[in-house]
Structure 1
């Protein structure tokens, strides 16, 4: 071992120099600064005092304070001196001089250090203020414009914000002779009569553990303790003292050197539990960094172990390296202890850390520890590196590493896009546009009057409003006057107006709509049906130049395919660079998606020169690289990543090739459907690529997730599988709570890119169960898009995503213990329980016993435990979905019904408990599913269903009273419990007057507790949008066929208060064509309301307004 540079002493706690500067002097440990008293201090103080003495004595005569009078009379009273000093307010204007300094120097000269310390404590514990409204303020005396009182402890932050005074006083006490120190402690002990004084005494005398505990108890009584805790930490030396302050973790506002430095100084390694305890609120990056910096300097195995166990967490690895430099032997011992049990994904990180430890430290380890470290390093790269000759050129010399000559773009002048402007609707798309737009219909009856008002007051919105909602003959007259401009609406209303105008007038307004969207790319989805040169230009620009709108550009290119290519050729060969480059990028993308021939054929429309130009373009861009190849940032470290194996598992990628693999993944995120990705997947083992991409993602997160490298998250979709889904989903749900909504949205896109059933189920779960509304809505929207792409509704997709949970096709699951067996069955709420071999229900599945087969019983018991956990939320969701299907009159074809409901191993337990309705054009039949899986009627006779039958859950509205009674008797005879009320459901209907007027007066004037209103939101009702003052003035029910049932509230629900809001009066209840509580007189009535929906809406309102 090199004696000139020995390994460090690992028993010492060495604080960084800047943290040491935070520490106060401590007697016997750190001396104070050299004290040089101000020679003019006494004269200054006496001059100020004599100038104000007449006024001071007048005030004391009106309100006697004996201590203060004694001091004015010349007696050495520290408490009086402190009050008089605060009243005189001898604080100098120079803030660099301590608040107490000048008068303190005078006190020392006149009365000595012990008196001065006591007077300073009194001085800092008095407060003079003009604001006396606080209940803690009990005035002692009034002087001038201020009233003086004992300072409440919570306000000590004003005194302690600048700690010059504490440095001065602690320094003098640290250096004082023993007799003076004892005298000062005695004086201060006599002054400890208020919480503030107890607190100051504890800070000044850190050797008095009893004083510190008393002060800690006082601090614990305060609601905000941040600065109080930080200053008292300069005295505290035990975890019990911090516990007395109610401090069990270091919260975000406390993660700074002002607290951490004294904490480490006082507690040493005992500070680790406080440093690593979970916090109530999330830490930002700087706060995490400070916390880890503190852990990394603690000379204790547990501190190093904490870092080793969290190596993949943000910023931990670099601090583990710092700890390894400071404690090399300890670090290797901890690594050796953790290595045998390390998960495969953590081995590269552990090995990378071990490689950064001074190799001389190995000599201090035992033989077993040295072996463990050696084996760990060997596992880091279990396979030998593949030779260059055995790798494709892409992983040896990829195109972005090779200098290529730049070719001058070929320009073909005079080309004009072919084809007319058109609007091409997908099935049902135009109807959806009109339906969405109806929400913002102003409901105008007299359009002539409306036009007059708009002309006089709001000319900026005449044309858009008229085109969108006026009768067609009136709207058509204003068609030529619209240039695509809209009033500054919110995005939702702007989208509604554009959808209405485009759906009504089609190609006539397409260019104007494109003009608006080109400048408002947030609404880029509306570009979809428009096929025009302007639409092609906007889509190409979004795709190539606007990352936030890239998905809209790609969607438009995908939708219009070869026609899009034909529209883009003129710009791709044009002289204008700003138009040419986006068009080139879009054509290369289309060549990847459609094939080169499709793009070349599109170019032929413009002649041979154009064809040659596009051919040259595709040849020159055969590598299809982005303008800037996304090189990984400084955070990317291949030595900490798992090895990527080749397909045969015999060899692995060298680290240079691993870096190339990361670049390929990054490029594929930016360009979509990159063939290089396919080549990478064909060369390497996909499972190791999955682990590699996940490790890259973790490394990105661990280094603060720099936004320039967001590809590290998006790239998970390339080789992700169900394991990736399981790891990523909890992060997506947590990110919004960490102010990372955009990252959560990107995570949802990864799930969509993986596209497996597990990924879609995770998205569906987030859309229903996530804590944060915004991410729930985003997940629901993405699910809807995926469903539409499959030609399904969201509910149809949900049917198909329900797993079978390992149940047999008949819904059975047998738990085999060897000598005994149990069968899993489900109750009416899909709660699992077991029956024994005699079919007797058991209260719980018994734990395996001594006579059971251990190889069978243990896994069987665990299987049932896991099943109960898996079904905990699924069961509730499926019951809720089934009830919603009945309320919304959802239908299934016979094939869908038998495959996804009756035929599903889990859902069959619910479907057998319900009454169903099968309808054809000529027939109607209610039925249930019997125990032998046949269909029977209310008389328990077998029935046959037609192949073309449409099936739905029967609602009492659908049945006669006799039929309803017959079904109720049959289910009772079979002792069948239903998962929710079906046959016992109340039936209600609108009156003729209600349908004619739209007013539901029977509910108006009712007073309802807010909790009842909030409860309706679980059954399809929606709270209104909060106004500027945070009040929601209503709630509504969206009718499936269009329109709303609106309830206007008085005084309205206060956002954030929930059930704590006062009771609400139903000011008005009405039917409305559009969602606007403020225009009920002109809103129009919704179309025909389904009787089932009508009954459910009325029953809900009747239930919460009924008087007990």
Structure 2
């Protein structure tokens, strides 16, 4: 039996007179007020990122700046913002009531650190600036959850094309429960414009979870729950915004229905009629705008139920190819949402390599949408390809965006991003013994990855070859060519995966990341590619025992005695500063005897332990007075860990800083400092002080009792090793 097509495909509302439905304004409950209260909900690591660079100046400098910019005649808003962001808090916070930038002013990147530092104390300024320039400042409002920000996001979602994507992110972050909690009063109120915005936003949130939207109305009473339910799509009472005689949606410029294969009905019902396919493209273009054409999302859901999923995926991909061939015109960006709605694992495999290759500056929004589509399609393929993009993409921006989406998928599974990445390391076709059979027909070879992760080949007679031979007369030329191509790809892939794993493991050692014994065995020891890396490192159990992984997968201590890990003993990578001197010597001797080469410096890593006196101090004198080239210090900052704070109103930057803990930095003062014009040619630098400070430059024990002993000894050791290397760098 051929399924009935949705009415939107056969008789769309823009081709007929609007139906007479119950007036949605009849469902009005006056006197409702949204709840008070304001919350700032940060994404993981977001607040730290937004805080930006710490202050390079001392308190005396900021007192002078306050006099200049907050004096009788005031100063430019961006200069005032610089003071508020970087000056010590006891000086800056009292100035907040005097900070009132005009709506049209451009504060650049100052809004993010202002919000990160003061949170709700600058709420009104941030919201006002976001409302005045949504396209430029709108994203700063994303962490803010309150009645005013919910209303503003609802307005953008309904009215502003330039800020609609920001509004979608706001509702995605705070969820349908929060949206309903703050927007129910407007949705049931008598003011026409706020009501339209709120109902539109509630319908958008209902697409995520209609039950949560309705539950939010419980805060206002049972009658309000029923009234809100009747405003949402699919309510049997039929009370909804009257379908006004809206103009037909503009046909897409590139994503023409004729350019894509027609979807096929389930159970042999044949392809959708051409007219229905054209209407389907228009529906995709207006999806997410239920106030203009109520029921669009429900109609698209019906299409997914009556059509073969693979045919819908092919249809969406056809639209995408037409969009790509036309140069990705902005008016047809809905195509990416079509991929997210109808895509499958095949879509993921085709879209992921394209997204990884988009590097033009104007392609970032498209990359972001593509990665979002991959995450919404979900499944093993999406996780695998997002992880691959995070490893292989050519730009840091794309790699970072992929990690963010992968982190969202990990959170949905109750995992950390690193834990999910462990599960996604490909085996590249290698078996449990680390081998891959390559068939020439009459001959076979086995590709093997050695302890250094260098692939080589073993023939049928056990002879070792660095690479595959050319095909012989008796060999199958097709099989031989495929085998050679497979081996070449294996060598390339092993290099990429190994580099990523080695970098992640080294970072795990620095961060103190831990694994359960079960995770350690499954994702490190027994993995054909990660196992050889794990066997060349020293590990440590929570019991305090250090060990290595032997060839047979068992654990052994520095005396080569077997170690059995308790089931609840977390495993970490041992940093040498946490190993005793005798233990470190024993491990170094053992690895030398077995000729084990480590994948990154661990046992031979420079160790800079603090003395008891240094642990109790806020400054280190061991480096004071030492000299080194400017290029050495610049190289530290270019690596990304060390920061070179912006120096206002001066020609030189006289401090570099390393984040060491929450709101704590290791600050290194330099003389004469790095020139702003050409820092590399700043000449020899002398270290005048190495101190632990807060982000506003305060280091005195009377202002918080900052001590080096309160910092992680691994962080301190690595910082001192970095500085020693910078001092020894060639000029």
Structure number with bigger Rg: 1
List gaps (5 residues or longer) in structure 1. 1-386
1:552 deviates by 4.7
Per-residue CA distance 1:758-809 (angstroms, 9 max, x = gap): 4445445555554445445544544455545554444333323322222234
Partner of 1:577 in structure 2?
A: 192
> Conserved in 2, the CA contact under 8 Å of 1:914 and 1:928?
yes
Q: Alpha carbons of 1:1040 and 1:771: their partners in 2 closer, same or farther (altered >3 Å)?
A: farther
2:604 aligns to what SS in structure 1?
A: coil
Q: 1:419 aligns with which of 35, 48, 51?
A: 35
Q: 1:500 aligns with which of 104, 117, 135?
A: 117
Per-residue CA distance 1:802-824 (angstroms, 9 max, x = gap): 22222234544333556554433
Give the whole-Å Cα distance in 1 for the aligned partners of 2:245 and 2:628: 63
Per-residue CA distance 1:326-382 (angstroms, 9 max, x = gap): xxxxxxxxxxxxxxxxxxxxxxxxxxxxxxxxxxxxxxxxxxxxxxxxxxxxxxxxx
Alignment partner of 1:657 is 2:268? no
2:25 aligns to what SS in structure 1?
A: coil
1:532 deviates by 3.5
> Conserved in 2, the CA contact under 8 Å of 1:467 and 1:479?
no
> Conserved in 2, the CA contact under 8 Å of 1:918 and 1:925?
yes
Partner of 1:1103 in structure 2?
A: 725
Give the whole-Å Cα distance in 1 for the aligned partners of 2:14 and 2:347: 29
Q: 1:470 aligns with which of 73, 83, 89?
A: 89
> Conserved in 2, the CA contact under 8 Å of 1:463 and 1:481?
no
> Conserved in 2, the CA contact under 8 Å of 1:918 and 1:951?
yes
Give the whole-Å Cα distance in 1 for the aligned partners of 2:675 and 2:459: 53
Give the whole-Å Cα distance in 2 for the aligned partners of 1:725 and 1:1065: 53
Q: 1:930 aligns with which of 543, 550, 558?
A: 550
Per-residue CA distance 1:1030-1072 (angstroms, 9 max, x = gap): 99887554335553345558674889x99xx547533546445
> Conserved in 1, the CA contact under 8 Å of 2:261 and 2:315?
yes
Q: 1:957 aligns with which of 577, 582, 585?
A: 577
Partner of 2:627 in structure 1?
A: 1006
1:981 aligns to what SS in structure 2?
A: coil
Give the whole-Å Cα distance in 1 for the aligned partners of 2:366 and 2:187: 34
2:547 aligns to what SS in structure 1?
A: strand
Per-residue CA distance 1:982-1029 (angstroms, 9 max, x = gap): 212221235656973546672766343748844774574456669999
More displaced, 587-596 or 727-736? 727-736
TM-score by length of 1: 0.55
> Conserved in 2, the CA contact under 8 Å of 1:812 and 1:824?
yes
Per-residue CA distance 1:543-563 (angstroms, 9 max, x = gap): 323445445534554535335
Q: 1:741 aligns with which of 364, 371, 388?
A: 364
Q: Alpha carbons of 1:602 and 1:494: their partners in 2 closer, same or farther (altered >3 Å)?
A: same
Q: Alpha carbons of 1:814 and 1:1021: their partners in 2 closer, same or farther (altered >3 Å)?
A: farther
Residue correspondence of structure 1 range 300-339 to structure 2 within 5 A: none
Give the whole-Å Cα distance in 1 for the aligned partners of 2:637 and 2:53: 21
Give the whole-Å Cα distance in 1 for the aligned partners of 2:15 and 2:685: 70
Q: 2:530 aligns with which of 896, 900, 907?
A: 907
Give the whole-Å Cα distance in 1 for the aligned partners of 2:101 and 2:266: 56
Q: 2:182 aligns with which of 567, 586, 590?
A: 567
Per-residue CA distance 1:901-950 (angstroms, 9 max, x = gap): 2243321121111110111xxx2010111122111111111112122222
1:974 deviates by 3.0
Give the whole-Å Cα distance in 2 for the aligned partners of 1:680 and 1:1029: 64
Give the whole-Å Cα distance in 2 for the aligned partners of 1:702 and 1:691: 16
Residue correspondence of structure 1 range 435-446 to structure 2 within 5 A: 437=51, 439=53
Alignment partner of 1:942 is 2:584? no
Q: 2:314 aligns with which of 685, 691, 696?
A: 691
Give the whole-Å Cα distance in 2 for the aligned partners of 1:1072 and 1:548: 44
Partner of 2:503 in structure 1?
A: 880
Partner of 1:239 in structure 2?
A: none
2:546 aligns to what SS in structure 1?
A: strand
* Count of paired positions: 707
Residue correspondence of structure 1 range 1073-1092 to structure 2 within 5 A: 1073=693, 1088-1092=710-714
1:674 aligns to what SS in structure 2?
A: helix
Per-residue CA distance 1:271-318 (angstroms, 9 max, x = gap): xxxxxxxxxxxxxxxxxxxxxxxxxxxxxxxxxxxxxxxxxxxxxxxx
> Conserved in 2, the CA contact under 8 Å of 1:1017 and 1:1023?
no
1:715 aligns to what SS in structure 2?
A: helix
Give the whole-Å Cα distance in 2 for the aligned partners of 1:784 and 1:1064: 43
Alignment partner of 1:1044 is 2:661? no
Per-residue CA distance 1:825-848 (angstroms, 9 max, x = gap): 323442322334565532213344
Partner of 1:542 in structure 2?
A: 156
Give the whole-Å Cα distance in 1 for the aligned partners of 2:594 and 2:85: 62
Give the whole-Å Cα distance in 2 for the aligned partners of 1:534 and 1:967: 61
Per-residue CA distance 1:381-408 (angstroms, 9 max, x = gap): xxxxxx9976444433344544323664
Q: Alpha carbons of 1:455 and 1:390: their partners in 2 closer, same or farther (altered >3 Å)?
A: closer
More displaced, 569-578 or 813-822? 813-822
Partner of 2:438 in structure 1?
A: 815
Partner of 2:9 in structure 1?
A: 395
Per-residue CA distance 1:477-531 (angstroms, 9 max, x = gap): 889888899997855442232233337x7xxx76676555544656656656655
Give the whole-Å Cα distance in 2 for the aligned partners of 1:623 and 1:836: 76
Give the whole-Å Cα distance in 2 for the aligned partners of 1:839 and 1:673: 65
Q: Alpha carbons of 1:556 and 1:713: their partners in 2 closer, same or farther (altered >3 Å)?
A: closer
List gaps (5 residues or longer) in structure 2. none
1:917 aligns to what SS in structure 2?
A: strand
Give the whole-Å Cα distance in 2 for the aligned partners of 1:770 and 1:609: 50
Give the whole-Å Cα distance in 1 for the aligned partners of 2:101 and 2:662: 31
More displaced, 670-679 or 885-894? 670-679
1:696 deviates by 1.6
With a CA cutoff of 8 Å and minimum separation of 6, indicate the structure with the bigger relative contact order. Answer: 2
> Conserved in 2, the CA contact under 8 Å of 1:463 and 1:478?
no
1:813 aligns to what SS in structure 2?
A: strand
Residue correspondence of structure 1 range 680-829 to structure 2 within 5 A: 680-737=303-360, 739-764=362-387, 766-767=389-390, 769-817=392-440, 820-829=443-452
Q: 1:987 aligns with which of 578, 588, 607?
A: 607
Q: Alpha carbons of 1:858 and 1:492: their partners in 2 closer, same or farther (altered >3 Å)?
A: same
> Conserved in 1, the CA contact under 8 Å of 2:58 and 2:698?
no
1:815 aligns to what SS in structure 2?
A: strand
> Conserved in 2, the CA contact under 8 Å of 1:1051 and 1:1065?
no
Partner of 1:328 in structure 2?
A: none
Give the whole-Å Cα distance in 2 for the aligned partners of 1:540 and 1:758: 34
TM-score by length of 2: 0.80
Q: Alpha carbons of 1:835 and 1:997: their partners in 2 closer, same or farther (altered >3 Å)?
A: same
Give the whole-Å Cα distance in 2 for the aligned partners of 1:485 and 1:1105: 47
